[in-house]
Amino acid sequence: MAVVEFKGKKFEVDEDGFLQRFDDWNPEWVEYVKESEGIKELTDNHQKVIEFLQDYYKKNGIAPMVRILSKVTGFKLKEIYELFPSGPGKGACKMAGLPKPTGCV
Partner 1 sequence: MAFISSGYNPEKPMENRITDIGPRHFEEFLPPVIKKNKGTWAYHEILEPGVLLHVADSGDKVYTVRCGAARLMTITHIREICDIADKFCGGHLRFTTRNNIEFMVTTEDEAKALKKELNGRKFSGGSYKFPVGGTGAGVTNIVHTQGWVHCHTPATDASGTVKATMDAVFEEFTSMRLPAPVRIAMACCLNMCGAVHCSDIAILGIHRKPPMIDHEHLDNMCEVPLAVAACPTGAIRPTKTEWQGKQVNTVAVKEERCMFCGNCYTMCPSMPLSDKEGDGIAIMVGGKISNRITRPAFSKVVVPFIPNEPPRWPTMTKVITQILDAYSKGARKYERLGDWANRIGWERFFEVCGLEFSHHLIDDFRDPAYYTWRQTTQFKF
Annotated catalytic residues are 104
Helix (H/G/I), strand (E/B), else coil: 10: strand
Q: Which residues bind partner 1 (CB under 8 A)?
A: 20-22, 38, 57, 60-63, 85, 99-100, 102-104
Quickly list H helices, 1-43: 27-34
Residue 14 beta carbon to partner 1: minimum distance, rounded to whole angstroms: 9
